Structure formats: structure tokens, C-alpha cells
Amino acid sequence: MKLKKYISIIGVLLFVYILIKLKISAVFREVVNVNLYYFIVGLIFAIFFIIFQTSKWLMIAYKQNIILPFFEAIKINLMTHFYGFITPGRVGVIMRANYLKKYTKTIGGGICNFTLDKVLEISSVLFIAIISSLIFQQKFNVIPLPVSLILFFGMIILTIIFIDKNRSKFLLKFVYLKLIPEKIKDKAKLTFNSFYENMPKKRSFVLFFLLNLLTWMTIYTTAFFIGKSLGINLPFIYFLAILPLGTLVAFIPITLSGLGTRDLVLITLFGIFSIEATKVFSMSLLTLFLTGIIPALIGWLIIFKRNLSN
């Protein structure tokens, strides 16, 4: 447990090291001298990002017959965004299952929603990374194309296997019989059954995947306009090639919200195109501020208000 705690601060220490290395004053100058027009456009896309981020898991919920108002879904998304922001690999987002319990009566439906959303989230960014690898394979090869393909198709195969209840029951039988303690077997069985209650139809997964792609495109467009506000004048296709690689690295649970690890990857890859490290770091910081810190703070305020009410 202690080792996990120390591992989770590696990225934070790396972030602080990069900030000191680049000089705080230089980063501050970049931030205060942004082009306000492009920054505001980036802010608008950041708002759309929250809307699409909510819509992608809400659509899964609707297909599960979990019905809740869109405004309530926005609040749940912001609250779970807060938990995701403060946990390595954003695993805290699983708190959504607890909030959805009000509408499902069992925890399994919410866990199913979280699991499907997470798998689609990772597979869609892997898909963008594969396209990027094909376009820019001569320029950089952070995640080799064969590795990306194996991960992408591996996730598709696992999804196909585990969305079928009977196949899952067969594969997890050993775990249930040998590894799960006797006193929680009944609860585990109930959770398993509720997980597969109202599982979305297979044809719906294309829509889920496209919504995830749209969400990623929105956040990358946010970063693009933030980059332009700092004087990073690269075509959007270059951002679309580099940013997914930073996202994949950020999924590694050794830091909070990709701090440090994502920044290092972005500085390295944008550096190939002669973009100053200070500008890249400032872009990463401002994008995190708009799409990470502000939504997390709003989510915390909603949680705080609900706790006071209770």
C-alpha cells in the first residue's frame, strides 16, 4: 500500500521538476500573454467537452434503461470528475456507479456503465493513436504501431467476450469458486447479475465509440486553440497526432491526472517540430486548468453542498 502511495507522486514530482527547470517566471509570462481570442475559443470547446463527456456515458445509461435528467447527469459527471482528478489513472470516476445506484437500485448497473465507458474511452484514443502512427510513423514512434494494434484489437475482443453474460460466467467461474471469500459470494453473485441486467445491444457500441471519438476530438481542439493562443502555429493534424500519445501515457497510474508524465511526452514530441518547451508546458497547464481543474472544483462544490444538505 505504501509503495502505491509513493508511486502515485512520481508524476507530481516530475511536474514540479519540469516547472522549475523551465523557470516559473518564464511559464508565467507565457500564460499572462496569451491571445485572448484563441483562449476564449478554447474555453468554449472546453465547455462542449464537459457536455460530450457526460453524453457518452449517459447514452450508455439510456441503453441500459437507466433514465436520469441531463442536468443531473452533468452534476454527476462533474462530481466524479473531481474524484477522477485526484486519483491515479482517474480510477476515482468509478464513483459514478454509486451515484447511479439511485436510478438502478443495484450497484451492478453503475459498474457496468463505468466499465463500458472506460473500455470505449481507452479503445477510442488508441484508435486515434493508430491513425497518428500511420501518418507520422517516420517522425516519431512513442508507441509502436504493432503495440497499438494489439492493444486496440485486444480490447475489442475482450469487450465482445465480456458483454456476453454466459461467456463471462464460464471464464470467471474459477475466480468465483476459488478466490472470492464465502461470506461475500452472495453479494458478488448479485452484483454480477445486476452488471448484466439491461446490457446494451451490440449494435449500440458503434454509437458509443463515435461519441467517445467526438469527446476526444473536442478536448484536443481545446488544446489546439490554447496552443494557438500561446503562439504554437502547427496544423491541427499535428496536435491530433501528438496529444493522444500524451493521453495514453497519462492513463498510467503513477500520477494525478497525468501530471508530469503527459507534460514530458508532449514537450518531447512537440520539440521534434521545434516548439519551445515553455510554450508546450504552458499549453498543457492551461488545457488542464480548463478541462481538469475548473470542472473538478465545480464538482467538489456540488459534493460539498450535497453533504451539507444531508
Whether 254 maps to a domain, the answer reads yes
- pLDDT, residue 230, reads 96
Whether 109 maps to a domain, the answer reads yes
Whether 295 maps to a domain, the answer reads yes
Provide the residue range defining the domain that includes 134.
33-163+199-309
Whether 282 maps to a domain, the answer reads yes
Whether 180 maps to a domain, the answer reads no
Of 82, 86, 84, 85, give the one whose Cα is nearest residue 94: 84
Residue 189: CB atoms within 10 Å: 12
- pLDDT, residue 143, reads 59
- pLDDT, residue 111, reads 86
- pLDDT, residue 8, reads 64
Q: How far apart are CA 192 and CA 271, in angstroms?
A: 48
- pLDDT, residue 142, reads 55
Burial classification of residue 31, based on how many CB atoms lie within 10 Å of its CB (0-12 exposed, 13-18 middle, 19 or more buried) = middle
pLDDT along the chain (310 residues), means of 10: 60 84 91 95 96 95 91 95 84 86 83 87 87 69 66 78 74 63 66 74 89 95 97 91 87 78 90 92 95 95 88
Whether 41 maps to a domain, the answer reads yes
- pLDDT, residue 232, reads 95
- pLDDT, residue 5, reads 58
Task: Please tell me whether residue 68 adopts helix, strand or coil conformation.
Answer: coil
**Measured at the alpha carbon of residue 122, what is the angle toward residues 245 and 103, in degrees to the nearest 5?**
145
> Do 161 and 168 form a contact (C-beta atoms < 8 A)?
yes
Residue 187: CB atoms within 10 Å: 11
Whether 281 maps to a domain, the answer reads yes
Q: How far apart are CA 190 and CA 64, in angstroms?
A: 17
Q: How far apart are CA 266 and CA 142, in angstroms?
A: 11
Which own/partner contact pairs does 258-262 have at CB distance under 8 Å and 24+ positions apart?
A: 258/11, 258/288, 259/11, 259/12, 259/14, 259/15, 259/288, 260/10, 260/11, 260/12, 260/13, 260/14, 260/15, 260/16, 260/17, 260/18, 261/10, 261/11, 261/14
- pLDDT, residue 73, reads 95
Total domains in the fold of the chain: 1
The residues, any chain, with a CB within 8 Å of residue 254's CB and separated by 6 or more, are 7, 8, 10, 11, 88, 261
